[in-house]
Structure 1
Amino acid sequence: MKKLAYLMAGTLLATTANFAMAADNPLSVHVLNLENGLPSPGVEVVLEQQNGDNWTKLNTGMTNEQGRIPALYPEGKKLEQGVYRVTFETGDWFKKHDTATFFPEVPVIFSADASVEHYHIPLLLSPYGFSTYRGN
């Protein structure tokens, strides 16, 4: 029973640390595999900001064991109003898992209007479909 309590406490501390990092950073993402209901670690994610007709790369990251990147926006920078694109490199992830997919990448374009301090973009993923929404 003590071992279970220590494991639960460790999970709570890790979760609390992720929430603290997310609170300090204006953008986080999370990828869940709908096929098995598990997180998707090892998905590369690219963040870009739109500048006229062009996109400027701001940052890249890799999802952790929980399928999360708690701090995707460049560290120490304030989120500017504008249009952003988060691209999940799903084709590479599925290839590593010997799974065919229809979507080699999933771009999510969103508008940050500064009405909230933190944006969270979850991606619910399967080989032949996906869904996303503005989380919190």
Structure 2
Amino acid sequence: MGKLTTHVLDTMNGCPAAGMLIGLYRVQDGQPVLVRQAVLNHDGRTDGPLLDDTTFATGRYRLVFEVAAYFRGRGVELPEPPFLEAVPIDFGLANPLQHYHVPLLTSPWAYSTYRGS
């Protein structure tokens, strides 16, 4: 059955982004509705899928990664306002039988994502 996972790598320090807060939103009628929040574990992942076979639904979603708070927590001095405060990634889940994986590679100044496996 379908599921949604994520993984965040801190490219500034070359490690998983342990402790980063993320939020998953379902976008309904153009408005984000919070589905759940999670703090990433030691491997930069959630302890289980963000959505699994019991909660997976097709539609539009947004993952918000709290990048500035994470780097401040690691002692990085950021300007005010920081270049990246939070990184939102909007995406669609179209097939309830597939595994969707949304990885993020980030530093305080850049990020990259793709559909992973």
TM-score of the superposition, structure 2-length normalised?
Answer: 0.86
Cα distance in 2, alignment partners of residues 134 and 126 from structure 1: 19
Letter matched to residue 132 of structure 1: T
Residue 71 (str. 1) matches residue 49 (str. 2): yes
Matched residue of 2:62: which SS?
strand
1: CA distance, partners of 2:9 / 2:23:
17
1:124 aligned residue: 105
Please say which structure displays the higher CA radius of gyration: 1
More relative contact order, 1 or 2 (CA 8 Å, 6+ apart)? 2
Verify: 1:111 aligned to 2:92, yes or no.
Answer: yes
1:58, CA displacement in angstroms? 0.6
Return the structure number with greater strand share: 2
Runs of 4 or more, structure 1, over 4 Å off, are none
Gaps of 5+ in 1: 1-23
Which structure 2 residue ranges, 5 or more long, are not aligned?
none
CA distance in 2: counterparts of 1:111 and 1:84, whole angstroms: 6
Partner Cα distance (2:38, 2:116) in 1: 19
Say whether residues 1:91 and 2:68 are aligned partners.
yes
SS at match of 1:91: helix
Q: 1:46 to 1:25 in 2, by over 3 A?
A: farther
**Relative to 1, partners in 2 of residues 1:93 and 1:115: Cα closer, same or farther, differing over 3 Å?**
same
Alignment of 1:1-136 (within 5 A): 26-69=3-46, 70-73=48-51, 76-77=54-55, 79-99=56-76, 100=78, 101-114=82-95, 116-136=97-117
Query: Which residue type is aligned with residue 102 of structure 1?
Result: F
Q: Percent identity between the aligned chains?
A: 32
* Alignment root-mean-square deviation, CA: 1.9
AA aligned opposite 1:71:
P
